[in-house]
Structure formats: C-alpha cells, structure tokens
Amino acid sequence: MHKIVFLDRYSIIADVKRPAFPHEWKEYPATSADQTVERLKDANIAITNKVLLQREVLDKLPKLKMVAVAATGVNNVDIECCRERGIVVSNIRNYSVNTLPEHVFMLMLALRRNLLGFRADVRNGEWQRAEQFCLFTHPVSDLYGSTLGIVGNGAIGKAVGKIAQAFGMKVLIAEHKGAADIRPGYTAFDKVLEQSDVISLHLTMTKQNRHFISTKEFSLMKPNALLINTARGGLVDEAALLEALREGRIGGAGFDVLEKEPPREGNPLLDLDLTNFIVTPHVAWSSRQAMQILADQLIDNIEAFIKGVPENRVA
C-alpha cells in the first residue's frame, strides 16, 4: 500500500482525483518547516507545491520514493539530493499556456493605455470637471505596430508571441544573454532590449538568472518601454527597477511576482504610488481552468511513476 502525503493542499483550488491504485492518502492545508519530516516519515510519495524539501529533510525520509511537485518550478526541492537518493521528481508542465499569457496582455494593455491613471482621474473628479467629453490627461498607445521582446521562448513565451502577432505587434525572440552566435529566428539580447516597446520575461529561476535584469539592462531599454514579469521575482533586481521607475528611465512595469513571497516584511515596490506600475499577487497562473489541468496532471504523474514510466521527470 503506497502512502501519499499532500503537504499543502490549499495551494491549488481544484478537484484532485485519487490515484487509480491501492493507496493511503493524507493531505494538509499547509505544512510548516518543522512539521515536514513528521508528516512524511512514512510516505512513499510526497506532493508539494511550495514546501521546502532540502537535503536535511530528505535525509530523514528513507521511505520516500517520489516527489510530485504541484507546480512547474522545482527550486523548493533539492534535485541533486533526490538524484543521489534515487527519488523520482516530476513537475507540472504547460498547464498555464492560456491563462498566463492572458495575464501578460492584461498588464500590457493596462499600462499602454494608462488604465490606472484614467481610473484615478475619474475618481478624483477630473473628467467631471473637463471642458470637453474626452479627458486627455495621459497618453494612450496602441499595441498594434509596436515591438514585443520575448525573453524565454518556451511554451508560454511562444503563446505570448502568438497573441502579440494577433494584435499586430512585431515580435523579437531574445537570444541567450551574451551569446556569440545568434540562432535563426532569434535576435541578440541587447538588441531586443534596445528595440522593444514591451519586454516580457518567461525564464526559469536559476542561480545564473538571478537579477537577469538590472541597472545595465534598464539603461539599454527605451525610455517609454514596459517590462512585464510573470515568471519569477528574482529575475529582476528590484532595487534597480525601483530606481528606473522613480527616475523615469523606463515607461512602466507590470509584475505578478516579487523576490520574496509573500512579502510579509514589506517591499519598496508595494509602496510605489505610480500609475505606470502594476503588481498582482502571483496569480497569473491561477485560473480555475489552469488549476484543474494542474491537478489532473499531478495525479497522472503519480500514476505513471507507479507504472514504472515516470512522466515530466526532472530527477
């Protein structure tokens, strides 16, 4: 009898079906660091969204054979340790290829058309006092004819590019930063920064990608360019972003992620009172439809492991 423990069940809102093999199922709304070992001590399969499973935890779990990550990112799991221990790790892939690009364009449109600025003006009575029927207090720019730079050309990056083309945007796909050779269909990274009206990040979070966008990169961008980040907060140097926004070096930014989440100790970006900066609380991925796809794939991964043919394997 396989024992499956879901450490943070409340991290997804979906109907999680039970695996089609004999098993014992235990789930917890959330799990703190000091509860993890106790809850997994008899488990063969652990399900985690964000609960940390690092070496000091894994070494205390001799019965563990699989970690099913209920997300795409696996930076909360010590992959090297799992490989050493023979623990299979599977993640979720391509579940948000519809919902996340929609969020990207929600942010992009709101910023290009100055939604927050006009909303504030209406609330403050500016339209009501206007001498004509239109209020021209903020510039409005179309997506049509503008250039979108996509950094990270995986499934989501490609989906964003497809929507951009439907809007009539020119799409540039960034080559790896510092690459000597440029692949067909790609554009040098620095040129993408220099030529794009909007830059959208779709990279994974690695040690090499930390602060991928910082002061140098902001200096290369157009003064009216927008930066959209729905990937990982650590990709952008937040201090450099704060400075760029306050000094008007870029046109604006739309973020769904911060470097530390949740921001319990605050974050200077949350205190920005600017109509050209939008931050949403890491929800770009979270449509009910996407979460159901995630939940279904999660159990498919577990069933594939039990059959001896692991899918979506990262370790």
What average pLDDT does this structure show over 287-292?
98
How confident is the model at residue 131, as a pLDDT?
Answer: 94
- The per-residue pLDDT for 84 is 97
Look at residue 70 in the predicted model and tell me its pLDDT.
98
Tell me how many degrees the CA angle 185-190-194 measures, rounded to the nearest 5.
100
- The 3 state secondary structure assigned to 66-81 is EEEECCCCCCCECHHH
Q: Token pair of 95, please?
A: 């579940």
- pLDDT, position 285: 96
- Report the SS3 class of residue 187: strand
CB 200 within 8 A of CB 151: yes
Give catalytic residue positions: 232, 261, 282
Listed in order, the ranges of the chain carrying CATH 3.40.50.720 are: 2-93+289-306, 99-279
- For the residues 264-272, what does the mean pLDDT come to? 96
Instruction: Answer whether 82's CB lies under 8 Å from 112's CB.
Output: no
3-state secondary structure 21-62: CCEEEEECCCCCHHHHHHHHCCCCEEEECCCCECHHHHCCCC
Q: Tokens 């239109």, residue?
A: 134
Average pLDDT, the chain: 97
Is the pTM higher than 0.85?
Answer: yes
Q: How far is CA 139 from CA 101, 147, 183, 283, 302, in A?
A: 25, 18, 37, 28, 51
**Residue 3 pLDDT:** 98
- Mean per-residue pLDDT, 137-145: 97
Q: So what's the pLDDT on residue 30?
A: 98
pLDDT at residue 132, as a whole number: 95
- Tokens linked to 24: 């014992």
Hey, is 81 helix, strand or coil? Answer: helix
- Position of tokens 């929609």? 102
Specify the residue for token string 């423990």: 5
Amino acid 200: pLDDT: 99
Neighbouring CB atoms inside 10 A of 114's CB total 19
Q: Name the CATH architecture for the domain at 99-279.
A: 3-Layer(aba) Sandwich (3.40)
DSSP state of 257: -
**pLDDT for the residue 217:** 98
**Which amino acid, 276?**
N
CB of 56 within 8 A of CB of 76? Answer: no
Helix (H, G, I), strand (E, B) or coil at 103: helix
Q: How many residues does the structure list for the chain?
A: 315
Q: Which two tokens stand for residue 182?
A: 């440029």
CA distance 293 to 46: 19
pLDDT tens, residue by residue, 173-222: 999 999 999 999 999 999 999 999 999 999 998 889 999 999 999 999 99
Task: Give the pLDDT band of residue 246 (cuts 50, 70, 90).
Answer: very high
What's the pLDDT at 310?
A: 97
Measured CA to CA, the distance from residue 195 to residue 190 in angstroms comes to 9
Structure tokens at 158: 């490609």
pLDDT band at 79 (very low <50, low <70, confident <90, very high): very high
pLDDT tens for each residue of 65-78: 999 999 999 999 99
The architecture of the domain spanning 2-93+289-306 is: 3-Layer(aba) Sandwich (3.40)
pLDDT digits 0-9 by tens, 39-70: 999 999 999 999 999 999 999 999 999 999 99
Cβ pair 151, 174 in contact under 8 A: yes
